[in-house]
Structure 1
Amino acid sequence: MSSLDLATLRAAHERIRPHIKRTPVLTNEALDDARGARLGFKCENLQAAGAFKSRGACNAVFSLTDAEAARGVVTHSSGNHAAALARAARLRGIPAHIVMPAGSPQSKVRNVASFGGRITFCEPGLNAREAACAKLAAETGATLVHPFDDLRVIAGQGTATIELLEDVPDLDFVLCPVGGGGLLCGTALAAKLLKPGIRVIGVEPALADDVAQSFRAGQRIAIPTPATIADGLRTNCTGEVNLPIIRQYVDDIVTVSEAGIVAAMRELWEKLHLVIEPSAAVPYAALLERKFVFAGQNVGLILTGGNVDLESLPWLKR
């Protein structure tokens, strides 16, 4: 796959449809009143394997030839992509080799193991993850399915926004968390190709602002391993295929504080009665911290995942 257009995104949607859930878009009058906007929450926390990552993983795995698939797949991930790829591989009956950084949330490690992923732990940091992944690929012949720097993955992630705009066609904004940039690329492509006038805002933790820096500089900028609570967004540097797409299709990238992420996560738990992880709360934190002008607008927010370690909820820490 060398390029992405609307036909490619729709083909991805058809390919993965038997293997994913069509997640609901929830609304809440109290949240609308509090924020002064009409909000629609795309609940990918209810997706198969607990996160939007099932979309990209299924598209990548079911795009493989039989010969490629027979050798299995390999990736590195802190959790959600790992579980999604393990699940997709199990559906196709092939092995999944998963590199996870030491210290990954135990809920996510258990999730990967439950789908039969063959886990190898490594030191935190992108270099260590990529080295361990390359070693496994060389040993097994498995196909790399990168968590974000992969057009097949990006196309799959974009299907969430196809569904969002089918359900809520009058959106003015789509807010999307950004870590490596796979979801943001897919979201922006789908949104702009379906509705050119819509505005797409990426939201990133201030402690993990590599994509925001890269977006403004016009080149990929790497940062030290981030310490944000949003563990799904702890990337050091966006992918090579990602940045050009982001710069072409995304209107802005804003950053939010750790306190804002925790407050947003707690408010959505209380008001929507949904289990979401910190990374999923990041877009709503941008509304809490008023990072852009949204009053009176129709705003779609992608709640990316719900794989939470219930033993370490952030508001329980002293």
Structure 2
Amino acid sequence: MISLHDIKQARENISGIIHKTPIIQSGQLSGISGNNIFLKGEHLQKTGSFKIRGASNKVISAVRKGAGKVTAASSGNHGQAVAYISKELNVPATVVVPEDAALCKVDAISSYGAGIEKCGTTSAERIPKAMELAESEGGVFIPPYDDPLIMAGQGTAGLEIIEELEDIDAVIVPVGGGGLLSGILTAVKETNPAVKVYGAEPLLANDTFLSLQKQKITSIPSAPTIADGLRSSQPGDMTFPVLMKYLDDLILVNEDEIKQSFCFVLERLKQLIEPSSAVAVAAAMFGKIPLEGKKVAVVVSGGNVDLGRLSDLIPEKSR
């Protein structure tokens, strides 16, 4: 497993690339949730999500070891991050995306100069394809989450939370493959074990919930949630043991709760966030964490939204 030392080393590696993202306080959200809520604004990060943290740490390491090309598999955000850092380091990149990837994310990947290949609709389909491309073209595969350097890079967001909100009581983190959650868990729990850390997952993409229940990695056949960044079919081999060791609880939210939280943040806070980010907001907004009157950080993981799909994110009663 990764350590706090690995995360601090990652911060040194990527300090010249990433933004230290802001903490946004919401009085209205705090009033609704019954806790003092602080949003960690990774939607304002370079490339629009936290993914640049882990991708930069991994690609920098690969280039230092002589990599001449990189490949990635991504529903969008990881691909953007890999494309961005690869361009910065003058290394060619190819990203394998799902057939139904959000157009804004595909366009962004292309804008950073990476090649794009489409493959299937699940991570179980696109990851092997990206690995195959890396092998056939002499490149290095950059995993979306299941890698120590990726996990450590994502954990730097946890360091920022702990340092900026020293008396924080709890952190809520959205979970797909578990790279962000495992990194933040390590950063938080190895700094202050008393801080509670909760994962938040869509009910329609509940592979991590099922895996924790069974205490073994469990896959699901599909994940038809609007939270397109959390459609992993199973937790990672490396991320899951960290969740088993440190996670206080995993919270499930339904599609309507995700939509209501998305709209609340857009209307009241004037922030455009992804449905994947709204999953974590929903866990706080709908009172699903067993806390009251506490100081809680909610990780807003990204803000890359396909504007053509905005109507799909609005609850029927709000139209």
TM-score by length of 1: 0.96
User: How far did 1:288 drift?
Assistant: 2.7
The CA deviation string for residues 60-113 of structure 1, in whole angstroms up to 9 with x for no partner, is 01112545322x111110000000011111111101110001010101101111
Q: Is the 8 A contact 2:124 2:233 kept in 1?
A: no
User: How far did 1:316 drift?
Assistant: 7.7
Which residue matches 2:182? 185
Among residues 37, 40, 49, which one is paired with 1:39 in the alignment?
37
The CA deviation string for residues 123-175 of structure 1, in whole angstroms up to 9 with x for no partner, is 11233213321321122111111101111000000001101111111111100
Mapping of residues 16-27 of structure 1, within 5 Å: 16-27=14-25
Counterpart code for 1:199:
K
Which residue matches 1:123? 120
Which residue matches 1:92? 89
Counterpart code for 2:24:
L
2:161 equivalent to 1:158: no
Which residue matches 1:50? 48
Q: Is the 8 A contact 2:277 2:302 kept in 1?
A: yes
2:57 equivalent to 1:59: yes
Matches of 2:129 and 2:29 in 1, distance apart? Answer: 44
Among residues 255, 261, 264, which one is paired with 1:264 in the alignment?
261
Matches of 1:18 and 1:246 in 2, distance apart? Answer: 29
**Number of aligned residue pairs:** 315
Matches of 2:314 and 2:176 in 1, distance apart? Answer: 23
Q: Is the 8 A contact 2:19 2:46 kept in 1?
A: yes
Matches of 1:316 and 1:114 in 2, distance apart? Answer: 32
Matches of 1:66 and 1:27 in 2, distance apart? Answer: 39
Which residue matches 2:249? 252
Give 3-state SS (helix, strand or coil) of 1:39's partner: strand
Q: Is the 8 A contact 2:74 2:123 kept in 1?
A: no
Over the aligned positions, Cα root-mean-square deviation in angstroms equals 1.3
Which residue matches 1:77? 74
Which residue matches 1:194? 191
Matches of 1:265 and 1:175 in 2, distance apart? Answer: 16
Among residues 285, 299, 302, which one is paired with 2:299 in the alignment?
302
Q: Is the 8 A contact 1:68 1:143 kept in 2?
A: no
Matches of 1:4 and 1:257 in 2, distance apart? Answer: 31
Give 3-state SS (helix, strand or coil) of 2:258's partner: helix
Among residues 209, 214, 235, which one is paired with 2:211 in the alignment?
214
Q: 1:286 to 1:133 in 2, by over 3 A?
A: same
Give 3-state SS (helix, strand or coil) of 2:126's partner: helix
Counterpart code for 1:194:
T
Counterpart code for 1:21:
H
The CA deviation string for residues 20-73 of structure 1, in whole angstroms up to 9 with x for no partner, is 111100102222122221111000000000000000000101112545322x11
The share of aligned pairs that are identical, in percent, is 37
User: How far did 1:221 drift?
Assistant: 0.3
Matches of 1:271 and 1:167 in 2, distance apart? Answer: 24
Among residues 166, 184, 202, which one is paired with 1:169 in the alignment?
166
Q: Is the 8 A contact 2:256 2:315 kept in 1?
A: no
Counterpart code for 2:56:
C
Matches of 2:306 and 2:226 in 1, distance apart? Answer: 12
Counterpart code for 2:242:
I
Matches of 1:285 and 1:67 in 2, distance apart? Answer: 42
Matches of 1:65 and 1:21 in 2, distance apart? Answer: 21
Give 3-state SS (helix, strand or coil) of 1:19's partner: coil
Matches of 1:187 and 1:62 in 2, distance apart? Answer: 21
